Amino acid sequence: MSLTDYRTLGKSGLRISPLTLGTMTFGEDWGWGTNPADAHEILDYYIQHGGNIIDTANIYTKGHSEKIIGDFLAKKTVRRDALVISTKFWGNLYPYDANGGGAGRKSIIQSLEHSLKRLQTDYIDLYWLHAFDPHTPIEETLSTLNDLVRDGKIRYIAISDTPAWKITEAQLIATFRGWSAFIGLQLEYSLLERSVENELIPMALEMGLGVIPWSPLKEGILSGKYTRGNKGQHLSGRNESRMSAELPEKAYQIIDQLASIASDRNVPVSAVAIAWVMHQKGITSTLLGARTMEQVIQNIQASELKLSDKELQWLHELSVPALPFPHNLLSGTADLLQAGTTVNGIKSNVAKILPQSSNDIYE
């Protein structure tokens, strides 16, 4: 596997790299991040190594992230059509303007026009609903996006950070109406955040959505810099207000196992953590949110790292999530459903409460 091991996103013909370059860190407007010159070097490095998809959003660094990418495209050192430019709407950049954000027609159109201007392009390859908007009917969002696809201003549509039931509704409406449907789903996924395995990932597989996880390093916790040795120390100004300096024991067990595998393979800890996500069912491409060139170089190594079945099993057992209802119930029902048979590789016994032979059945 490498950055040129392209795969199609969801139910579409759009080819993208297995690692997506995330650019939320482009711009220092939030008090941390990458200056424009360094960001352009990162873009150059990623593209020169075969990467073809660049992800941003209208609200990243107050619009500066899009502007940095637009200035890079304006230099014409790479053919714009060779890239998949991915950006998002929903976030509101305009204080006290109720229509400045969201998923309504007015907001989508103005958000797109501003993004096109900042990105210095006349179309977006992959346009994302950034998160669930509970105030807008999904039909309005879909019809607007469908119009923009027909107008040629966007090529494909996708969705992020939205409940599985709402995405399912959207996909069915699009199918019945003959509108463009979502082809991608962004969600948080890492060894420390696996709750998406309960509903969102199975839904994506069923509904034709390619999954692009964000935060595979859980805001840097799985990057290798957090260890038992520096327990209690704040190591990042970015997430200091949101996370405790001392992690739970389960997190340190995962960190220890990642470090052991990384040492055996002679690769960075971050590459192992990202590779685990890349190996999971339904994943098309994984977002890299690197702030420095060193981080990019380290993290891209994940695209060439094939974890063994044993390594995957170790990490799976350490991080397996507790399943909510009805998954916690259904996970133990194979004996009742299959009655001693094997179906799709899942084995079963005859449950004790079931008839043990045909002679035990009341007719």
Compute the chain's Rg from CA coordinates: 22
| List 6, 46, 60, 362, catalytic entry | 60
- CA angle at 280 for the pair 44 and 252, rounded to the nearest 5°: 90
Provide the CB-side half-sphere exposure for 341 (13 A, CA): 6
* Alpha-helix runs per DSSP H in the chain: 36-48, 64-74, 105-119, 138-150, 164-177, 200-207, 249-265, 269-278, 293-300, 309-319, 327-330, 334-338
CB 213 within 8 A of CB 201: no
CB 185 within 8 A of CB 204: yes
CB 54 within 8 A of CB 84: yes
DSSP string spanning 252-274? HHHHHHHHHHHHHHTS-HHHHHH
Q: What is the dihedral of CA 206, 210, 214, 217, to 10 degrees?
A: 90
156 annotated active-site: no
Please give the Cα distance from 111 to 308 (Å, whole number).
44
DSSP string spanning 83-113? SEEEEEE----STT-TTSSSSSHHHHHHHHH
**Bridge partners, 72 (sequence order):** none
Please give the Cα distance from 48 to 235 (Å, whole number).
31
Which residues are known to be catalytic? 60
